[in-house]
Amino acid sequence: MEPGNDTQISEFVLLGLSEDPELQPLIFGLFLSMYLITVFGNLLIILAVSSDSHLHTPMYFFLANLSFADICFTSTTVPKMLLNIQTQSKVITYVGCITQMYFYLLFAGWDDFLLAVMAYDRFVAICHPLHYTVIMKPWICALLVLVVWVMGALNSLLQSLMVWRLSFCREVEISNFFCDMKQVVQLACSDTFLNDIVMYFSALLLGAGPLIGVIYSYCKIVSSILGISSAQGKYKAFSTCASHLLVVSLFYCTSLGVYLSSAAPQSSHASAVASVMYTVVTPMLNPFIYSLRNTDIKRALKRIFGVPVM
C-alpha cells in the first residue's frame, strides 16, 4: 500500500488560540509584533557576530546558528497563523500540514542540539581553558553544527514520513495554531502504534539526550567555578555562561510545559497556550537575553548603528 493512499481528506482545520471573532484582531497584532521582534532581534545577533571580528569565536558562531534556527523555527508556524486570521480561514492543506510538521521538528531539533553544543563549549572554556583553542578548532565547530543539522533533518524526515503513511477519515480539527504532530497522529483512523513508538524514542534520544549533556556540562562547570579562590574570578567565569544557562532554562521549561499540558486530560487550550511560549516567546526573548547581558554583543550592535563605543 502506498503511503497516504487511503487518506480521505485534503486538509486540516487549525482551531487556533480562540474562536472568538472579537479577539482575532488582538491576536493578529500581538503575534505579528512578536514575530517581527523575533526576526529583527535574531537578525541583529547574526549581523553583529558576522560583522565584528572580535566575535569570530566558537561561542558566538554557535549563537549565530541558534539565532538562525530561532528565526526559521518561528517562521514555520506564525506566518500561517497570521494568514489564516487575515483571510478568516482555519484551513491548512494535507501536504501543507505535513510540510509544516517537517520544518517544525527540524528547527526544534536544531535548537535542542545547538543548546547542548553551546553547553559543551562553555564546559571546555571553563573546565579546560588551556586546551580550549585546541579542542574547539574552527573545523571542529563547523563539524558539530553540521552534525546538528544532519541529525535534525533525519529525525524530522523520519517522523514526517511516519505521519504520511497514516489514513485520516474522521474529524480533522487540530486544537492549536499549527500542525502539532502528536495531535495529528491522534486524529488518524489507522494504527498509530509504530508512530507512537518512534515519537517516544525520538523524544527520549533526541530530547533527553541533549538535556543530559547540558546538565552534565553545567555540573562540571559549577564544580570548576566553586574551585576558583577569588570572588571576582568566580563572577567572571559564571558571567560567561549565565546568558546561555538562562536560555537553556527557558527552552526546557517551556518544552516541559508543552509536554505536561498535552499529557493532561481536557488540555487542548492549555496545550495551545503552552505552545505559544515554546514556539514564539522563547525565540523572541533569546536576542534580548544575549544582548542585554553581553558586553561584546552590545559593543558590536553599537558599531552597527553608528553609536560611539566607549
Q: Chain centroid to CA 125: how far?
A: 24
pLDDT in tens, 41-87: 999 999 999 998 888 999 999 999 999 999 999 999 999 999 999 98
CA distance 284 to 73: 11
Q: In the CATH scheme, what is the homologous superfamily, with its name and number, of domain 11-304?
A: Rhodopsin 7-helix transmembrane proteins (1.20.1070.10)
CA distance 122 to 116: 10
What does the angle CA 46 – CA 287 – CA 233 come to, to the nearest 5 degrees? 100
Q: What's residue 264's pLDDT?
A: 56
> Could you tell me whether strands 91-93 and 11-14 are parallel, antiparallel, or unpaired per DSSP bridges?
antiparallel
Q: What's residue 263's pLDDT?
A: 58
The model scores a pTM over 0.95: no
- Considering the chain, what percentage of its residues have pLDDT values greater than 70? 91
Secondary structure (3-state) at 89:
coil
Q: What's residue 29's pLDDT?
A: 95
pLDDT in tens, 184-221: 998 888 888 899 898 888 888 888 889 899 999 999 99
Q: What's residue 107's pLDDT?
A: 94
Q: What's residue 141's pLDDT?
A: 95
CA distance 187 to 9: 12
pLDDT < 70 regions, the chain: 1-8, 171, 257-270, 293, 309-310
CA distance 229 to 198: 48
Give the sheet arrangement for strand 173-174, strand by strand: 91-93, 11-14, 173-174
Q: What's residue 4's pLDDT?
A: 43
CA distance 180 to 12: 11
Domain boundaries, given as residue ranges, for the chain: 11-304
φ, ψ for residue 134 (rounded to 5)? Answer: -80, -45
Whether the Cβ atoms of residue 145 and residue 117 lie closer than 8 Å to each other: yes
Q: Chain centroid to CA 152: how far?
A: 11
Whether the Cβ atoms of residue 282 and residue 251 lie closer than 8 Å to each other: yes
